[in-house]
Amino acid sequence: MTQICVVPGDQAAPEAMAATVLVLRELIPDIDILVVDEGIGPVGQFGETLSNECREAIDSSDATLFGATSRRTGAISYLRWGKATYANIRPVSYIEGIKSPLSNPNNIDFVIVRENTEDLYAAVEGDLDLLRPLKLTSYRGTGIPALGDGRFAVKVITRAATERIAHYAFQMARRRKQAGYPGKVTMSCKHNTLPTADGFFREIVTEIAENYSDIEYNDFIIDDFARRIIVEPETLDVVLLPNQYGDILSDEASALVGGLGVAPSGCYGDEYAYFEPVHGSAPDIEGLGIINPTATMLSAAMMLEYLNLPVAANTLKTSIRTVYANKENLPKDQGGNGTTEQFTRSVIASL
């Protein structure tokens, strides 16, 4: 029997998760849903400090649905690094009825493929004193020895992780092409200023692109690309980004199609996948009962697809679309007066 682990997280995230679990229990009554608090336990191999109970629930489930956390080393460390979920997939598609700052958001339908394990989020940081003996210098001729008191963070780009995520993006473009999308991968990074690290990312992706002659490939420097996302989002199909740029630009991209309240994501590895909204734990609206649960619900729909339950996934997406099209009980971030609970009741009624 299929089992889903649900980790609600903290601050306002559990409110969106409770709403989503209500919907899932209506939608798929035969599936085991194990709701578990991340808790605090001993430090694991990846710095994670979740409870053993939570770790075991994640391990014994077919997939995990995660809320969001204000903790750096909770379940998320285990779900990303412990489970090697290296591909963070963030669809950016417009749903009719949702509030967009653009006059015509209808043709926005792309997906961000964000490398999910390395780059600056390898999180190796320290005091500059540690680097001084290495006498590192930059191509400008200046170097660590000349700098005073300070700290550093390491940006790690490895061949293996870059090849893996590049293949993932091109294969996704291929699958989408079969479904009528253009069949295009757009990559972006800062290879001009960081020719060694970001330049390596670009070099490898360009190499991999040659294996996919059926897929169009182009790239832009990241600052220009941040602008293009706003002015020509309808030209994008699959967008491949290193970890930190992917993190930042996915919040930006979400703004075009309704913002964080409606932006879902999935993190896929070779052996495991977990699903979470793009947003964080929204502390400023904790306890107000107004968090928009759409992002968590759409993440749950991605999970149902992963679990090979396409009918349930489609039913859930269609219900959400119906509620937005009818502008029924829309949450505050969408310009409505609906509480989380009222909006959720509308979704359940349309299932």
**Residues at the site binding Mg ion, with contacts judged by CB under 5 A:** 247
> Shortest Cβ distance from residue 183 to Mg ion (Å)?
28
Q: Which C-beta is closer to Mg ion: that of 247 or that of 328?
A: 247
* Structure tokens, 279: 């947003």
Residue nearest to ligand NAI (CB): 280
# residues contacting ligand NAI (CB under 6 A): 19
Q: Give yes or no for residue 115 binding ligand NAI (CB under 6 A).
A: no
> Shortest Cβ distance from residue 67 to ligand NAI (Å)?
7
Using CB under 6 A, pick the residue from 4, 87, 98, 291 that binds ligand NAI: 291
* Structure tokens, 38: 């991340």
Q: Give yes or no for residue 276 binding ligand NAI (CB under 6 A).
A: yes
Q: Which C-beta is closer to ligand NAI: that of 17 or that of 27?
A: 17
Q: Which does 247 bind (CB under 5 to 8 A by kind): ligand NAI, Mg ion, none?
A: Mg ion
Listed in sequence order, the residues at least 6 apart from 54 whose beta carbon sits closer than 8 Å to its beta carbon are 7, 36, 37, 38, 39, 41, 75
Listed in sequence order, the residues at least 6 apart from 245 whose beta carbon sits closer than 8 Å to its beta carbon are 188, 189, 190, 222
Q: Which does 68 bind (CB under 5 to 8 A by kind): Mg ion, ligand NAI, none?
A: ligand NAI
Q: Which C-beta is closer to ligand NAI: that of 165 or that of 267?
A: 267
Map the chain to HEC letters. CCEEEEEEECCCHHHHHHHHHHHHHHHCCCCEEEECCCCCCCCCCCCCCCCHHHHHHHHHCCEEEEEECCCCCCHHHHHHHHCCCCEEEEEEECCCCCCCCCCCCCCCEEEEEEECCCEHHHCCEEEHHHCHHHCCECCCCCEHHHCCCCEEECCECCHHHHHHHHHHHHHHHHHHHHCCCCCEEEEEECCCCCCCHHHHHHHHHHHHHCCCCCCEEEEEEHHHHHHHHHHCHHHCCEEEECHHHHHHHHHHHHHHCCCHHHCEEEEECCCCEEEEECCCCCHHHCCCCCCCCHHHHHHHHHHHHHCCCHHHHHHHHHHHHHHHHCCCCCEHHHCCCECHHHHHHHHHHHC
Question: Contact region for ligand NAI (CB under 6 A) — 22-30, 146-154, 266-274, 288-296?
Answer: 288-296
Backbone angles phi, psi at 19, to 5 degrees: -60, -45
Tell me, residue by residue from 308 to 347, as one string, x for binding to ligand NAI by CB under 6 A and - for no binding. Answer: -------------------------x--------------
> What residues between 13 and 52 interact with ligand NAI by CB under 6 A?
16
Q: Which does 191 bind (CB under 5 to 8 A by kind): Mg ion, ligand NAI, none?
A: none
> Shortest Cβ distance from residue 126 to Mg ion (Å)?
24
Q: Give yes or no for residue 283 binding ligand NAI (CB under 6 A).
A: yes
> Shortest Cβ distance from residue 251 to Mg ion (Å)?
6
Q: How many Å apart are CA 301 and CA 305, to the nearest integer? A: 6
**Which residues is 152 bridged to in the sheet?**
126
Tell me, residue by residue from 45 to 84, as one string, x for binding to ligand NAI by CB under 6 A and - for no binding. Answer: -----------------------xxx-----x--------
> Shortest Cβ distance from residue 40 to ligand NAI (Å)?
16
Q: Which C-beta is closer to ligand NAI: that of 183 or that of 266?
A: 266
Using CB under 6 A, pick the residue from 55, 164, 279, 317 that binds ligand NAI: 279
> Shortest Cβ distance from residue 323 to ligand NAI (Å)?
15
Using CB under 6 A, pick the residue from 282, 300, 301, 304 that binds ligand NAI: 282
Nearest residue to 149 via CA among 164, 131, 162 = 131
Q: Give yes or no for residue 285 binding ligand NAI (CB under 6 A).
A: yes
> Shortest Cβ distance from residue 6 to ligand NAI (Å)?
14
Q: Which residues bind ligand NAI (CB under 6 A)?
A: 16, 68-70, 76, 260-261, 276, 279-285, 291-292, 295, 333
